[in-house]
Amino acid sequence: MDDQQRLMHPSQGQVSMAGVMPQQGYDGSLTQGDPGDQRKQEIGDVLQQIMTITDQSLDEAQARKHTLNCHRMKPALFNVLCEIKEKTVLSIRNTQEEEPPDPQLMRLDNMLIAEGVAGPEKGGGSSAAASATAAASGGQPDSAIEHSDYRAKLAQIRQIYHTELEKYEQACNEFTTHVVNLLREQSRTRPIQPKEIERMVGIIRKKFSAIEMQLKQSTCEAVMILRSRFLDARRKRRNFTKSATEILTEYFYSHLSNPYPSEEVKEELARKCGISVSQVSNWFGNKRIRYKKNIGKAQEEANLYAAKAASAASSQMVNNTPSSPTGSSNYSLPSSQSQLGGQGAMYMNINGGESYPGGENSWGLEDSE
């Protein structure tokens, strides 16, 4: 409050000087003997009273203001103040310019809107979380819980953000109204142009928008942390179900010569396993690389699935191995599982103990199916 009052007083010092010194007498007389001195004294007193107004209690000030306003010299003095003001205000006017919107603020705004914190409500608070759960549960049952959890937290952030924003807004309005009223009140004693009030309002708004920006910034941070905690799948990695892993592994080993499922197959596998296509792609990517890295270890697993494939295929197999066109993809197993026909056998490809899966021609060029 005091700040604002003082802010609006910069001209007072000048006024007291400029108003008194030249002594633009109302009767034209300049520095004359007694009458001039007396007038000078009077003006000095009036100015002194104006200056001390803010230091006084309200009642006292009110009374003094009243006497000041009724003072016979008030109108004249007021005119002088206006004149001086006119000169000084010009310089103020030039200094204030419309600055472009802060890019930082725009970035924050955009992000908040993108995250659904600011801007139009996406479905409406808690019900949004519920509907999101319902929608997601069709596809990925596991992540649906995470998702709704995330939504709930986001809604929480959103609520806090809006509450705070509202608070600021209210405080800003209250403060602005207060200051405007104060200035209006003061404008009876000293010259205050509407433009100045506007400017003051602008200053207040700017201050409050700076606070708002801080709020936005911390909200953004909170959202980022939330995201990293909930949406970064790495943090919430879940192993696939046993059956899913089994399906994938089985496919992998039964297509070991070319473990690159097509998009359609990936979709099929994804559907069977209850995971996404990209997860299937990830899985095969990981599997291929890890198989290559450690064939020795993979052999155990390979044999297992080979046995499975064999038993599954045995019903259809009569005599010959169904697919052994060249030596390319079917390698015979060293010992115990030697007669595991079909594709199951080829993962035992032994090429000098080197860990490369297709020997001289690594994966991809030949397909067993």
Q: Which is nearer to DNA, 110 or 278 (CB)?
A: 278
Interaction residues for DNA, span 28-67 (CB under 7 A) = none
SS3 46: helix
Alpha helices in 115-140 (DSSP H): 125-137
258 near DNA, rule: CB under 7 A: no
Q: Which is nearer to DNA, 119 or 364 (CB)?
A: 364
Nearest distance in Å: CB 277, DNA: 10
Q: Which is nearer to DNA, 167 or 238 (CB)?
A: 238
Per CB under 7 A, the list member of 110, 188, 224, 260 interacting with DNA is 260
Rama region for 131: left / alpha / beta (φ>0; ψ in -120 to 50; rest): alpha
Dig out the tokens for 203 from the structure. 């200053």
Lay out the site mask for DNA across 161-200 (x = CB under 7 A, - = otherwise).
----------------------------------------
Q: Is 234 exposed, middle or buried (0-12, 13-18, 19+ CB in 10 A)?
A: exposed
Q: Is 124 exposed, middle or buried (0-12, 13-18, 19+ CB in 10 A)?
A: exposed
Interaction residues for DNA, span 288-327 (CB under 7 A) = 288-290, 292, 297
Taking CB under 7 A as the binding criterion, the range among 12-20, 150-158, 168-176, 273-281 that sits at the site for DNA is 273-281
The residues, ordered by sequence, that sit 6+ positions from 364 with a Cβ below 8 Å of its Cβ are: 258, 260, 358
Interaction residues for DNA, span 117-156 (CB under 7 A) = none
Interaction residues for DNA, span 219-248 (CB under 7 A) = 232-240, 245
Asked if 77 and 46 count as a contact pair (C-beta separation under 8 A), the reply is yes
254/30 Cα distance (integer angstroms): 114
Per CB under 7 A, the list member of 148, 186, 279, 330 interacting with DNA is 279
272 near DNA, rule: CB under 7 A: no
Number of residues that bind DNA (CB under 7 A): 26
Q: Which is nearer to DNA, 15 or 223 (CB)?
A: 223
The residues, ordered by sequence, that sit 6+ positions from 258 with a Cβ below 8 Å of its Cβ are: 363, 364, 366, 367, 368, 369
Asked if 250 and 287 count as a contact pair (C-beta separation under 8 A), the reply is no
Taking CB under 7 A as the binding criterion, the range among 27-35, 100-108, 111-119, 272-280 that sits at the site for DNA is 272-280
Strand blocks (E) in the chain = none
Per CB under 7 A, the list member of 14, 131, 187, 281 interacting with DNA is 281
285 near DNA, rule: CB under 7 A: yes
Q: Which is nearer to DNA, 121 or 263 (CB)?
A: 263
Alpha helices in 231-366 (DSSP H): 242-254, 263-273, 277-293, 295-314
Count CB atoms within 10 A of the CB of residue 355: 12
Q: Which is nearer to DNA, 40 or 288 (CB)?
A: 288
Nearest distance in Å: CB 117, DNA: 22
Q: Which is nearer to DNA, 33 or 353 (CB)?
A: 353
Residue position matching structure tokens 């806090």: 160
| Sites of contact with DNA (CB under 7 A) | 232-240, 245, 260, 275, 278-279, 281-283, 285-286, 288-290, 292, 297, 363-364
